[in-house]
Amino acid sequence: MDRLEIIEEAIDTVRKIDGVSKKQAERIVDWFLKTDSKDSAKVITMLKKMITDISHCEICGYFTQQTLCQICLDPDRENQLMIIENHNNLEKFENNRFFKGKYFIFPYSLDQEFVSNEEIEQKINKLVEYAKDFDEVILAISPTLAGEITMEILKRVFIKNEINCSQLAIGLPIGSSVDYMDHITLKQALKNRTN
């Protein structure tokens, strides 16, 4: 039996969410169809409210309902700046409470053939100007090949502008087996070993 076209369209739309499989999208749409109309209407109202009321902080790029987010407005933060890739990374550091500085979301992957893109260039210039006010800038970008290239490009820009910069150490995850580690992780773990 074929589904109604409107249900198929709803499933296809929900599948556009990162990480949502076809089966998960079907379950979400099914929930909307089977649940009490008040509950589904409430979810829809909240989603619409999020879309209209939430924007991005003018400084760091995190979510806010004002011009600046609570983190950027907090005068008690340490004078360190962490460069991260996305909102999820920021929330991970914030929820674990072991970083007390401020953040800057840099959502771009820069490759070796980095050609000046106006949007990226503006974001880098904004980042450099902001970073000058901090004692240290910490690059916390995922150590993928693209992430490593991005960090190298940003490091060069920071060095050129005399900005103190470091990056997160890479090592062996707790509970992992050396047998299954790639050579780059093993090399970095050996290089960053502690006494």
> 137 and 161, same structural domain?
yes
Structure confidence at residue 60 (pLDDT): 96
* CA separation for the pair 151, 134 (Å, rounded): 18
> 29 and 119, same structural domain?
no
What's the mean pLDDT when you consider all of the chain? Answer: 89
Structure confidence at residue 17 (pLDDT): 94
Task: Give burial (CB, 10 Å; 0-12/13-18/19+) of 120.
Answer: middle
Query: What is the residue range of 110's domain?
Result: 63-167
Facing residues of 56 across strands? 63
Q: What is the pTM of this model?
A: 0.79
* CA separation for the pair 121, 144 (Å, rounded): 22
Average pLDDT over residues 183-189: 78
Structure confidence at residue 108 (pLDDT): 82
**In a domain? residue 21:** yes
Q: Quote the longest CA-to-CA distance of the chain.
A: 66
Report residue 104: phi and psi, to 5°: -145, 120
- How many structural domains compose the chain? 2
Do 119 and 157 contact (CB within 8 A), yes or no?
A: no
Facing residues of 186 across strands? none
> 154 and 92, same structural domain?
yes
Mind listing the pLDDT tens digit for each residue in 141-171? Answer: 988 888 888 899 899 999 999 999 999 887 7
CATH number at residue 79: 3.40.1360.10
Facing residues of 82 across strands? 103, 138
Mind listing the pLDDT tens digit for each residue in 14-63? Answer: 999 989 999 999 999 999 999 988 999 999 999 999 999 999 999 999 99
CATH number at residue 32: 1.10.8
Share of the chain above pLDDT 70, in %: 96
Half-sphere exposure of 80 (CA within 13 A, CB side): 13
* CA separation for the pair 79, 101 (Å, rounded): 6
> 22 and 77, same structural domain?
no
Report residue 47: phi and psi, to 5°: -65, -45
Structure confidence at residue 115 (pLDDT): 52
Mind listing the pLDDT tens digit for each residue in 90-140? Answer: 999 999 888 999 999 998 877 655 556 777 888 899 999 999 999 999 999
Do 28 and 43 contact (CB within 8 A), yes or no?
A: no
